[in-house]
Amino acid sequence: MVLIDTSAWIDFFRDASSPYGQIVDNLLADDFVCTCNLVIAELAPAAPTRRKYEEILDSLRALPVLGDPPDIWERVMEAGFSLRRKGVNGVGIPDLLIAAVAGFHKVPVFSKDRHFAAIHDHLGLSLFEPF
């Protein structure tokens, strides 16, 4: 399974033929995609219409939804603290939350967001890197 970050989903929804869109499409075709509540919460409100909002919710809720670890806030705080001590600033709470969920469930993250590379480099987050 691969946890797809919001940034890759946006490419997929905008243009499934884009490089990231094609990878998401292939992972979906192989039933290799999972999500988490934060990704759903980031994507659904950005829908341009109520109909598209419902489509996005239905599509994402049909996937396996990874639950939050019981100690998610401790994981987020520790990761943020550790990154700052290593000179990595600007990684937001949403990215830290997604990383905490992925790490807890031991699944890689697929993302366009450079912050996940920093989390990988400094904290060992597993990334799905098809390129």
Q: What band does 125 get if pLDDT is binned at 50, 70 and 90?
A: very high
pTM (2 d.p.):
0.93
The pLDDT of residue 58 is: 94
- The tokens of 41 are what? 């919460």
pLDDT score for 131: 82
- Residues 74-120 pLDDT 10s: 999 999 999 999 999 999 999 999 999 999 999 999 999 999 999 99
CATH architecture type of domain 2-123: 3-Layer(aba) Sandwich (3.40)
Tens of pLDDT, residue by residue over 11-63, are 999 999 999 999 999 999 999 999 999 999 999 999 999 999 999 999 999 99
Q: Where are the domains of the chain?
A: 2-123
* Contact partners, residue 2, CB within 8 Å, separation at least 6: 27, 32, 33, 34, 107, 108, 109, 110, 128
Amino acid (one-letter) located at 108:
P
Could you tell me the strand order of the sheet in which 65-66 lies? Answer: 65-66, 33-36, 2-4, 109-110
The predicted pLDDT at position 66 comes to 98
